[in-house]
Structure 1
Amino acid sequence: MTSILENNRNCLVATTINSMLMKNGHKFCTVKLSNGESVRLQINETKLIGALVHFFETAVYADYPRDKAEGEIRGHYQNCLNTNKDRLTSVGVEFMSGLIENVAEEAFASSGDK
């Protein structure tokens, strides 16, 4: 059985990818790294879910008791989506853009190219 948190996460990811497809026609995005280099990433559901868990949810669970953390995460995911859950809000665009930048930075750092 899927939890409410998982449903909210999946909805945020699906909306983000749908937004990319509507805007660009594909699941690629260009990210400017902190060193000034631009890289192109292919985004998919698995990568975004993993990034949300790794970068965001883990940090929230470290700061709050489990029940409180789940509420904070669910609330944030809901704030990232409009009331129909079919578009990202400005908070959602900024949050997901930052998340994708973190994925790019980590991938670049782990590749050994600095």
Structure 2
Amino acid sequence: MRIGELSERTGTPRRLLRYYEEQGLLLPGRCQNTYRSYEESDVDRVLQIRGLLDAGLPTRIIKQILPCLDKPRVIHFPDATPEMLATLERERDRMTERIRCLARNRDAIGAYLEAVRGG
């Protein structure tokens, strides 16, 4: 598939897909006319990348763990180094704190809406 279809199917702008390629996160093939060519599996790969970015992981970490992703949302890393494990633990802890913050903000907005609506 071409970049436009991948963009449409994943809800990811073409410019961002090209950025993922520049970062080594996505590796499209090339057609004879030099257009990018994506596989069906790239749909899941883009969704994985977006999910990891949304969770707050930087692209340098994502690039390291992407080869270990067996299928969407499942990470398998058989040769984890102590440094990689420590990095992932730090990232997990940072995500946990972001989740707490988001939950507090969600609850505050919910309380405000309830108060405004008189409920």
TM-score bin (small chain): 0.3 to 0.5
Q: Which has the larger radius of gyration?
A: 2
- Alignment TM-score, normalising by the size of structure 1: 0.32
- Alignment TM-score, normalising by the size of structure 2: 0.31
